[in-house]
Structure 1
Amino acid sequence: MTGFLTSVTSGHGNTRDLKEYHTAAEALTAIKRIYKENSEKVKTRFKAFSEGDKKSPLDVGYYPYLGLEIGPTDINLNSRLAYGNLHSAGFFGTTLTQPELFHSYYLEQIELIIQNHDRPVVVGVSDRPMPLPFVIEKASSNVSGDDVQALQSIFPMPELANINDAIANGIHETEAGAAHPLALFSAERVDYSLLRLFHYTGTSPHHFQRFVLFTNYQRYVDEFIEYGLDQVKNGSEYRAFVEPGNVLTPNPRLTDIDASGEAPHHLPQMPAYHLVRNRHEGITLVNIGVGPSNAKTITDHIAVLRPHCWLMVGHCGGLRRTQRLGDYVLAHAYVREDHVLDEDIHPSVPLPAIAEIQMALTDAVAELSGETTNLKEHFRTGTVYTTDDRDWELRHKELAQRFNQTKAIAIDMESATIAANGFRFRVPYGTLLCVSDKPLHGEIKLPGMANKFYQDRTAKHLRIGIETLRSLRESGIESLHSRKLRSFDEPAFR
């Protein structure tokens, strides 16, 4: 049963053509139709513009809108999941984008809110126009410099005032007459990040998987490429392997698509590699390089894809005399001296360890290292100190007391940033590092020592990360999304 609703007085702001849907499949079909119709308006007008029509007006395209109203008796306090549920009465809504890309995610979230509240959702047209660059990625490629002003006078452009993380940061204030947030990100915020992902990683957002590994050394990438190509050549789990330039190597046993893509002349800033599985439940590896700025940037954008978890697997400096090169460090706490997220999440906010990930990492280390009985000999759990100073060793006297006070066992430049953004964006996180040097104790990474270390440990370390993600997926992703990552006033969407 469906029916049209009045828009302006309904509590959903200046939306229009709202229609009720009692099933997620019907609602998503409507969302796809609205998105296609409105994006086609922009594409059609841009085609005319490219062919010389600089004066005709634009039939503006608007993002789809999804919302619902729940009353005091519709609140469900018995849901076993940490998401898909609202805990107060009122109107809730969000704009949506790229429904084909987010098909399985949207379908799951809409199903949950309908089931948990026994209420229909409404779908309609929002009052947020689709900016030209978010509909046509290469909009400027056929436009001369003289036409830029004309282009901007016809088409809506991104409004940075409406592209922010106020909801995720817990500082969003709902305007009078508008609905409360139903999701962490607006359609514009999502589209902004989707464009940035290709820019930074050299691969389309459609290839990203929902289990993510971050690393800070090229050797891990080399091992992942070798592993990934072997999987699609000889395995039966992954459908394809994708490299920068959208270079796709298919698994002929699982798909009939052809190899495609062209390797770029130069690698992007943070190249990404994808082992593709159905429902985006494969593995993505991103080489973020060194430093917290890159770590923040890439997690800011991958977060809109709503991954099930992300892990940092990289190198660190050992801070204890008893550690040896090649030992593993499992972070259970972080000292945040990276500073890049201080304005978004205050350094005093604790970052809780995610028990499911900690246990899966520990089990994977034990299994793949073959050290089930003497695991602690090469495996330490403790605090990781993340700094934004690559030459922190030159401040040894100043930092020695700080290390002692925090009881840190390792230092790096990315792990706390990735964990903090995971906490901020409700993405479960974990860190397993490998000691590559011990500067405080005179063991500095020299070329010969580094090569031997890399050869002995990199492949095993990467495999531990891969097996951890496999274990988490097979154990059931629902248990990953803990309530400890959600506040008391949360949007329903995971």
Structure 2
Amino acid sequence: MSPIEEQIAKETLERYSGSDAKEFQSNLILTNFPRYVQYFAESRNVPIKEGSVFKVAHCKEEDVSILDFKIGSPAAALTVDTCSFLSFKSAIFLGMCGGLRRRYQIGDYLVPVASIRAEGTSDYYFPIEVPALANFLMQKAVTDVLEEEKTPYHIGITYTTNMRFWEFNVPFAERLKATRAQGIEMECATLFTGSYKRKFTLGALLLISDLPLEKAKTKKDAAMVFDKFTKDHVEKGIKILKVSRKMQEKKIKGAYHRNVDSPSSEED
């Protein structure tokens, strides 16, 4: 990675986030939702900054930043590509997904171990035969936190698509069922392949926001999910980052050791 590439990446992040690169803390929450940034900022009494695309907030006391990159795989790729030039020690994606099992309930957590690359964007990182896997250390931190708090959760794979309004598309739904994926969303495959390519320590904790094979999500349903689950999801994300840092300090394998002055890194 050349110095000019690093410069442009940082300038792009600053332009899109409205925040100086030096303001970002060592641990990062990625999300799709401005409500999550709003909760984080209000609960930590820190300001929100917004650029042409992203909305961010930084908490020095907890050494955590949060970034809302909106929706979809191209935005996810842009986020990983630019953030990988900063010296983040760990990152967690707090997203939502549609649950694809009848026993799932809205508000359950899904811990994705891998994602089906059906979104297209990940093809720019690796050939299609390369799997999209979440970072093991981060997912271990996720399950450790959930088990410590005695929070029920599901483990599985997600189907990452670039088509949002698919609920009434019968051929698509049949193809989705054939994959036996546990959830459907629009970012994880891109985030996982991009972070693997860029050596960026990233995991994910997904909230099941709807059961799309049974019923399409309405405006009222979406509002209920945000009102009821935002606080718990964000607080779990912050705790996961803290646990992952302790795991890295103990030299548990799985994290990339990033040089502050360079995006090059090594993995345990």
TM-score normalised by L of structure 2? 0.88
Contact kept? 1:308, 1:481, Cα under 8 Å: no
1:192 to 1:480, Cα distance in 2 relative to 1, 3 A: farther
1:477 to 1:212, Cα distance in 2 relative to 1, 3 A: farther
Structure 2, unaligned stretches of length 5 or more?
A: 258-262
Q: Which residue pairs with 1:392 in the alignment?
A: 166
Partners of 2:226 and 2:107 lie apart in 1 by 9
- 1:447 matched to 2:219? The reply is yes
Contact kept? 1:308, 1:480, Cα under 8 Å: no
Among all aligned residue pairs of Structure 1 and Structure 2, give the percentage whose two residues are the same amino acid: 28
Contact kept? 2:137, 2:254, Cα under 8 Å: no
Partners of 1:309 and 1:480 lie apart in 2 by 13
Q: Which has the higher contact order (CA 8 A, sep 6+)?
A: 2
Query: How many aligned residue pairs are there?
Result: 261
Is the partner of 1:268 in helix, strand or coil? coil
Alignment of 1:308-347 (within 5 A): 308-347=89-128
Partners of 2:91 and 2:120 lie apart in 1 by 21
Runs (4+) of structure 1 exceeding 6 A deviation are none
Query: How far apart are 1:451 and its partner, in Å?
Result: 2.5
Partners of 2:54 and 2:117 lie apart in 1 by 22
Kindly provide the amino acid, as one letter, of the partner of residue 409 in structure 1. Answer: Q
Larger Rg: 1
Partners of 2:196 and 2:84 lie apart in 1 by 11
Partners of 1:188 and 1:348 lie apart in 2 by 31
Q: Deviations over 1:292-347 (max 9, x none)?
A: 11111111111111422221101111111111111111001100112113133122
Contact kept? 2:134, 2:192, Cα under 8 Å: no
Contact kept? 2:90, 2:202, Cα under 8 Å: yes
Partners of 1:210 and 1:430 lie apart in 2 by 15
Q: Which residue pairs with 1:296 in the alignment?
A: 77
Alignment of 1:117-156 (within 5 A): none
Partners of 2:255 and 2:234 lie apart in 1 by 29
Partners of 1:291 and 1:328 lie apart in 2 by 20
Contact kept? 1:336, 1:386, Cα under 8 Å: yes
Kindly provide the amino acid, as one letter, of the partner of residue 466 in structure 1. Answer: I
- 1:208 matched to 2:13? The reply is no
Q: Deviations over 1:33-72 (max 9, x none)?
A: xxxxxxxxxxxxxxxxxxxxxxxxxxxxxxxxxxxxxxxx
Contact kept? 2:200, 2:256, Cα under 8 Å: no
Is the partner of 2:132 in helix, strand or coil? coil
Structure 1, unaligned stretches of length 5 or more?
A: 1-184, 230-240, 246-266, 486-490
Kindly provide the amino acid, as one letter, of the partner of residue 243 in structure 1. Answer: I
Q: Which residue pairs with 1:244 in the alignment?
A: 49
Partners of 2:35 and 2:138 lie apart in 1 by 24
Partners of 1:299 and 1:480 lie apart in 2 by 23
1:493 to 1:332, Cα distance in 2 relative to 1, 3 A: closer
Query: How far apart are 1:355 and its partner, in Å?
Result: 2.8
Contact kept? 1:434, 1:461, Cα under 8 Å: yes
Partners of 1:193 and 1:320 lie apart in 2 by 40
- 1:351 matched to 2:132? The reply is yes
Comparing 397-406 with 201-210, greater Cα deviation is found at 397-406
Q: Which residue pairs with 1:194 in the alignment?
A: 10
1:274 to 1:457, Cα distance in 2 relative to 1, 3 A: same
Q: Which residue pairs with 2:37 in the alignment?
A: 221
Contact kept? 2:119, 2:186, Cα under 8 Å: yes
Partners of 2:264 and 2:23 lie apart in 1 by 26
Comparing 432-441 with 355-364, greater Cα deviation is found at 355-364
Contact kept? 1:292, 1:414, Cα under 8 Å: yes
Is the partner of 1:295 in helix, strand or coil? helix
Q: For the aligned residues, what is the CA RMSD?
A: 2.4
Q: Deviations over 1:92-149 (max 9, x none)?
A: xxxxxxxxxxxxxxxxxxxxxxxxxxxxxxxxxxxxxxxxxxxxxxxxxxxxxxxxxx
1:346 to 1:479, Cα distance in 2 relative to 1, 3 A: farther
- 1:286 matched to 2:67? The reply is yes
Query: How far apart are 1:385 and its partner, in Å?
Result: 0.9
1:429 to 1:447, Cα distance in 2 relative to 1, 3 A: same
Partners of 1:391 and 1:382 lie apart in 2 by 23
| More strand by percentage | 2
Q: Which residue pairs with 2:199 in the alignment?
A: 426
